[in-house]
Amino acid sequence: MPSLHTRVAAVLLLLSFPAAGETPRELADLSLEELSEIRVTSVSKFAEPLSQATAAIYVITADEIRRSGATTVPEALRLAPNLEVARLNAQQYTISSRGFNSVNASNKLLVLIDGRAAYTPFFSNAYWDQQQIMLADVDRIEVISGPGGTLYGANAMNGVVNIITRDAHATQRVLVDATAGTLARQGALRWGGKLGQAATRIYASGFDSGHTDLATGASGKDDWHGAQAGFRTDLAAGGSNLTLQGDAYRNVIDTPSGRRSGGNLLASWTRRISAESAASLQVYYDNQRRVDSGTSGGSATNLVHTFDIAGQQVVMFGPDHEVVWGIGHRAWKDEFTNTANPFVLVPRAERVNLTNIFAEDTIALRANLKLVLGSKFEYSTFSKWAAMPNGRLGWEFAPGHFAWVAVSRAVRVPSRLERDLTAPGIVDRSPDFRSEKLTAYEAGWRSTLSRDVSISLNAFYNRYSDLRTTKPNPLTVLPVTFGNGWEGHTYGVDAWGTYSPLRWWRLMTGVELLRKDFHLKPGERDIAGVQTVLGHDPGHQAFVRSYFDLPHDVELSVALRHIGALTDVRVPSYLEADARLSWHATPDLELTLAGQNLVHRRHAEASTPPTYYIPRNAYLGLRWQY
Partner 1 sequence: MRQVVLLAWCFGFAAWMEDARTEELAVPPAASERSIKAAFLFKFLAYVEWPALAFSAPEAPIVIGVLGADDIAAELSQITASRSANGRPVVVRRLREGESFAGLHVLYIGRSEAARVPGLVRAAQQRSILTVGDLPGGMDHGIVITFVVVDGRVRFEIAIDAAEKSGLKLSSRLLSIAQNVRSGS
Nearby residues of 29 by Cβ (< 8 Å), 6 or more positions away: none
> Between residues 309 and 511, which has the closer beta carbon with respect to partner 1?
309
Binds partner 1 (CB under 8 A): choice among 216, 217, 296, 503: 503
> Between residues 17 and 231, which has the closer beta carbon with respect to partner 1?
17
> Between residues 34 and 254, which has the closer beta carbon with respect to partner 1?
34
Binding of residue 26 to partner 1 (CB under 8 A): yes
Binding of residue 479 to partner 1 (CB under 8 A): no
> Between residues 25 and 348, which has the closer beta carbon with respect to partner 1?
25
553 SS3 class: coil
> Between residues 14 and 77, which has the closer beta carbon with respect to partner 1?
14
Residue type for position 335: E
Site for partner 1 in 135-194 (CB under 8 A): 167, 169-170
Q: Nearest-CA neighbor of 541 among 96, 66, 35?
A: 96
CA separation (Å) from 471 to 44, 418, 438, 478? 55, 12, 21, 9
Binding of residue 199 to partner 1 (CB under 8 A): yes
Nearby residues of 200 by Cβ (< 8 Å), 6 or more positions away: 168, 192, 193, 194, 231, 232, 233, 234
Binds partner 1 (CB under 8 A): choice among 61, 180, 219, 273: 273
Nearby residues of 267 by Cβ (< 8 Å), 6 or more positions away: 242, 243, 244, 282, 283, 284
Q: How far is the CB of 38 from partner 1 (least distance, A)?
A: 5
> Between residues 343 and 379, which has the closer beta carbon with respect to partner 1?
379
> Between residues 27 and 599, which has the closer beta carbon with respect to partner 1?
27
Site for partner 1 in 86-105 (CB under 8 A): none
> Between residues 235 and 410, which has the closer beta carbon with respect to partner 1?
235
Residue type for position 4: L
Q: Judged by CB under 8 A, which stretch of 31-39, 87-95, 487-495, 512-520 contacts partner 1? A: 31-39
> Between residues 327 and 478, which has the closer beta carbon with respect to partner 1?
327
Binds partner 1 (CB under 8 A): choice among 173, 259, 289, 329: 329
Binds partner 1 (CB under 8 A): choice among 221, 250, 259, 271: 271
Neighbours of 626 (CB within 10 A): 9
Q: How far is the CB of 548 from partner 1 (least distance, A)?
A: 15
Instruction: Evaluate whether 95 touches 118 at the Cβ level (below 8 Å).
Output: no
Neighbours of 218 (CB within 10 A): 9
> Between residues 132 and 356, which has the closer beta carbon with respect to partner 1?
356
Please tell me the distance from the alpha carbon of residue 225 to that of residue 426, in angstroms, as a whole number: 35
Binding of residue 536 to partner 1 (CB under 8 A): no
Q: Judged by CB under 8 A, which stretch of 16-24, 375-383, 469-477, 595-603 contacts partner 1? A: 16-24
Instruction: Evaluate whether 112 touches 153 at the Cβ level (below 8 Å).
Output: no
Largest CA distance in the chain: 85
> Between residues 41 and 341, which has the closer beta carbon with respect to partner 1?
41
In degrees rounded to 5, what are phi and psi of residue 55? -160, 160
Binding of residue 40 to partner 1 (CB under 8 A): yes
> Between residues 275 and 593, which has the closer beta carbon with respect to partner 1?
275
Binding of residue 28 to partner 1 (CB under 8 A): yes
Residue type for position 29: D
Beta strands in 428-553 (DSSP E): 436-448, 453-473, 477-502, 505-520, 540-550
Q: How far is the CB of 356 from partner 1 (least distance, A)?
A: 14
Binding of residue 274 to partner 1 (CB under 8 A): yes
> Between residues 43 and 599, which has the closer beta carbon with respect to partner 1?
43
Q: How far is the CB of 274 from partner 1 (least distance, A)?
A: 7
Instruction: Evaluate whether 592 touches 180 at the Cβ level (below 8 Å).
Output: no
Binding of residue 123 to partner 1 (CB under 8 A): no
Neighbours of 171 (CB within 10 A): 25
Please tell me the distance from the alpha carbon of residue 66 to that of residue 232, in angstroms, as a whole number: 21
Q: Nearest-CA neighbor of 507 among 458, 583, 558, 553?
A: 558
Binding of residue 239 to partner 1 (CB under 8 A): yes
Nearby residues of 261 by Cβ (< 8 Å), 6 or more positions away: 248, 249, 250, 251, 288, 289
Instruction: Evaluate whether 374 touches 362 at the Cβ level (below 8 Å).
Output: no
Q: How far is the CB of 142 from partner 1 (least distance, A)?
A: 16
Q: How far is the CB of 272 from partner 1 (least distance, A)?
A: 8
Query: What torsion do the CA atoms of 360, 364, 368, 373 make, to the nearest 10 degrees?
Result: -30
Q: How far is the CB of 587 from partner 1 (least distance, A)?
A: 11
Binding of residue 319 to partner 1 (CB under 8 A): no
Instruction: Evaluate whether 58 touches 140 at the Cβ level (below 8 Å).
Output: no
Site string for partner 1, 434-463 (x = CB under 8 A): -----------------x------------
In whole angstroms, what separates CA 295 from the centre of its chain? 32
Please tell me the distance from the alpha carbon of residue 72 to that of residue 181, in angstroms, as a whole number: 14
Site for partner 1 in 356-415 (CB under 8 A): none
Residues that bind partner 1 (rule: CB under 8 A) add up to a total of: 49
Instruction: Evaluate whether 445 touches 456 at the Cβ level (below 8 Å).
Output: yes
Q: How far is the CB of 106 from partner 1 (least distance, A)?
A: 31
- Would you tell me which residues interact with partner 1 (CB under 8 A)? 14, 16-18, 20-21, 23-28, 30, 32-41, 44, 48, 167, 169-170, 199, 236, 238-240, 269, 271-275, 279, 281, 283, 309, 311, 329, 331, 353, 451, 503
